[in-house]
Copies of this chain bind each other. A is one copy, B any other.
């Protein structure tokens, strides 16, 4: 789970050696710590669409200093920690020049670890074809900038639907903070919130909320439980009965409850309903439990095929269905699933896993409108290469390739996935629904 190359190239002689012979030089990512100032600071605000006012209001609310927008052709030499470009008013190709001018002038002003967010209007919400094309073109710009800015800088595109301007804050806070350190090159669509505008304690957003996390005894699941608990949630940690002792340890470490449940058991749904009847409904459910049984299709046993689909896809479907049909999720509830880059791109030797994780995308997209009617959202993260006990078992050279094949030239940590899930599960993220967000440092791999 340690990336010795990353430490090496950031030691003083390692850095010199790497520079001399031209090795990649990833920066260690800066991650969020409790008590830190939340947002990148200072930040340049540019562009003049329907979102610029709301962006300024958010900065004011967070005491973040907006840097003066640079005169476009004469960049200031003062470094900034972030940039927000409101491109929502771009209506044709000609106006895309404004983004060129801005990034051309300001790319070098962005400090290490800077956060860049472009705001737009999704093509499906545009008035006419030239606007839809210009807005769709932003994807190519954002993904290219995410690949070329380097120095641990991240770049995202958020399409904000008309009418969803007031639902931007949780997403902007996430993407402009260190919480999103391993998320880059992503395109997210925001719609009007499914559940109105709750009043938020930004320091402890999950205060008074109950969360269920499956596969919580270790690795990414444990990190999810920790982050939700850190941010105020009461967490119910679920894992299989065989993992009971590490599960109890995990639950106790986050001040939560341990619940030994095999989510693939024939009576898992009934057990969940009974649990809810006894302890009350949940606000957040994270379907994190997942298994791999890798083999090429010709060598794969039927058991390997079925068990992977049962744990990774059938169980999240059945449990989500039961929670939504019954009274298992409060209004304002959040379901977060875990897909995978393999589910997006397919993977050699993982036809079972990729099938299950592609199905998770289908689950999220199909369930989102149904859930919205109950004031619940359903989203997924799709992790790339994350440093866990699972990836530590990958042979060295393949592991090295997996680690470096992304714009940040390193693997992510479980906490990167957990922070992204906490954003999707956030009480103020009711405008984020049906989305699949990669946590992969903008892995080269895709479809």
Contact = CB atoms under 8 A, between A and B. Distances in A.
Interface string A364-381: 011100100000000000
Interface in A388-417: none
State how many copies of this chain the complex holds. Answer: 2
A370 B129 contact: yes
Interface in A341-364: 342-359, 361-363
B365 A145 contact: no
Interface stretch (A12-20, A92-100, A220-228): A92-100
A356 B306 contact: no
A323 to B, nearest CB: 14
B93 A144 contact: no
Which residue among A146, A317, A354, A370 has the maximum number of chain B CB atoms within 10 Å of its CB?
A354
B137 A355 contact: yes
Interface stretch (A171-179, A206-214, A293-301): A293-301
A143 B354 contact: yes
Contact of A354 (B144, B298, B349): B144
A89 B302 CA distance: 21
Interface in A101-159: 101, 103-104, 107-108, 123, 126, 129-130, 132-148
Nearest to A363: B133
A193 interface: no
Interface stretch (A161-169, A194-202, A327-335, A439-447): A439-447
Contacts of A140: 342-343, 346, 351, 353-359
Nearest to A103: B297
A305 interface: yes
B351 A145 contact: yes
Interface residues of A, number: 73
Given A145-B297, A358-B137, A345 B446 contact: yes
B370 A137 contact: no
A52 interface: no
A362 B446 contact: no
A431 interface: no
Interface of A: 93, 96-97, 100-101, 103-104, 107-108, 123, 126, 129-130, 132-148, 185, 187, 296-298, 300, 302, 305-306, 309, 313-314, 317, 321, 342-359, 361-363, 365-367, 370, 444-447
Given A97-B302, A185-B447, 11 more contacts: A96-B309, A100-B302, A108-B298, A129-B363, A129-B366, A136-B362, A140-B356, A144-B297, A144-B355, A147-B347, A444-B446
18 contacts: A100-B302, A100-B352, A130-B317, A132-B366, A133-B366, A134-B359, A136-B363, A137-B356, A139-B361, A140-B358, A141-B354, A141-B355, A142-B346, A144-B297, A144-B354, A148-B296, A345-B446, A447-B447
Complex A-B, nearest 10 residue pairs according to Cβ-Cβ distance, in ascending order: A446-B446, A143-B346, A136-B362, A140-B358, A137-B359, A140-B354, A144-B346, A144-B351, A133-B362, A107-B298
